């Protein structure tokens, strides 16, 4: 998946045509006033309580972009992340719960856990350097990124052996499992970060950015398996995106 994302981003960027026939006015204004499409590839790193549950994963995104003026850009973005597998698949518990002197360390060999996040956000980029030029040379500079919107998340758990079963003298029953469940919701969220953009022409640009995502959502506590309640949800992303201004 990682190689596919990186290859697609690189291929798309080098294939983008510049506008070598623009007049002097178009070259001076660069991308200002234009609407474009973008593709991004990211690595998302769970942090705080989410890091106890999941590992870093690749992600992808699509967005519409509008260069309002030389300093400000508006984006409407969709990105999707799948944190798979979750660490709870390897979680252990002690059984029987009420008899510490007889504790055995138990794992659930059929445990399955993953989480998907689908984010729909409206973002702003404030460019610290005015964006001019384009087809006559490579220009650009750093920017501040900020935004917010809706994050649909779904954390699916199944196959965990029931830790609270009694000891009947025949050992633990590995077929007695917790009922599968999902923690799912549509949460408000926001993101903030920094990036740097390079304008390769008056229609093509590439940027690298790092953003913090905060979701006002929660994942339930599973005390027997060593997992605390997680609220709110955080992940940090580092990525590369390429955009092409179509008009």
pLDDT at site 31: 84
pLDDT of amino acid 162: 93
Number of residues written out for the chain? 247
Nearest to 22 by CA among 13, 14, 33: 33
The residue assigned the tokens 């999902």 is: 182
Tell me the domain boundaries of the chain. 2-17+28-245
Distance, CA of 177 to CA of 111 (rounded, Å): 9
C-alpha–C-alpha distance, residues 11 and 216, integer Å: 36
Q: Are strands 181-199 and 112-127 parallel, antiparallel or unpaired?
A: unpaired
Question: What pLDDT is recorded for position 178?
Answer: 93
**Residue 102's pLDDT is what?**
73
pLDDT per residue, tens digit, the chain (247 aa), is 444 334 433 433 333 333 333 443 434 457 888 999 999 999 999 999 999 999 999 999 999 999 999 899 999 999 999 999 999 999 999 888 777 777 888 999 999 999 999 999 999 999 998 876 544 445 789 999 999 999 999 999 999 999 988 888 788 899 999 999 999 999 999 999 999 999 888 888 999 999 999 999 999 999 889 899 999 999 999 999 999 998 8
Q: Label residue 18 left, alpha or beta by phi (over 0 means left) and psi (-120 to 50 means alpha).
A: beta
Q: Which of 172, 173, 175 is nearest to 99 (CA)?
A: 172
CATH architecture of 2-17+28-245: Beta Barrel (2.40)
d(CA 235, CA 212): 6
> What is the reported pTM?
0.81
């Amino acid at each position: 998946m990682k190689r596919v994302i990186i290859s697609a981003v690189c291929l798309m960027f080098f294939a983008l045509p510049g506008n070598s026939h623009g007049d002097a006015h178009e070259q001076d204004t660069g991308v200002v006033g234009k609407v474009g499409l973008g593709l991004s590839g990211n690595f998302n790193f769970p942090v705080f309580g989410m890091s106890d549950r999941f590992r870093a994963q690749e992600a992808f995104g699509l967005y519409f972009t509008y260069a309002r003026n030389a300093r400000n850009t508006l984006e409407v973005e969709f990105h999707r992340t799948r944190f798979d597998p979750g660490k709870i698949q390897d979680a252990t518990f002690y059984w029987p719960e009420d008899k510490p002197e007889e504790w055995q360390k138990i794992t659930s060999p059929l445990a399955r856990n993953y989480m998907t996040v689908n984010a729909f956000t409206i973002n702003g980029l404030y460019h610290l350097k005015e964006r001019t030029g384009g087809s006559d040379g490579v220009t650009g500079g750093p920017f501040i990124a900020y935004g917010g919107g809706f994050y649909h998340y779904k954390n699916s758990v199944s196959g965990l052996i029931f830790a609270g079963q009694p000891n009947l003298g025949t050992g633990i029953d590995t077929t007695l499992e917790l009922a599968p469940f999902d923690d799912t919701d549509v949460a408000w969220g926001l993101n903030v970060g920094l990036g740097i953009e390079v304008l390769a022409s008056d229609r093509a640009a590439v940027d690298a950015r790092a953003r913090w995502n905060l979701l006002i959502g929660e994942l339930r506590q599973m005390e027997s398996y060593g997992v605390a309640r997680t609220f709110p949800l955080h992940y940090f992303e580092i990525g590369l995106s390429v955009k092409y201004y179509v008009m």
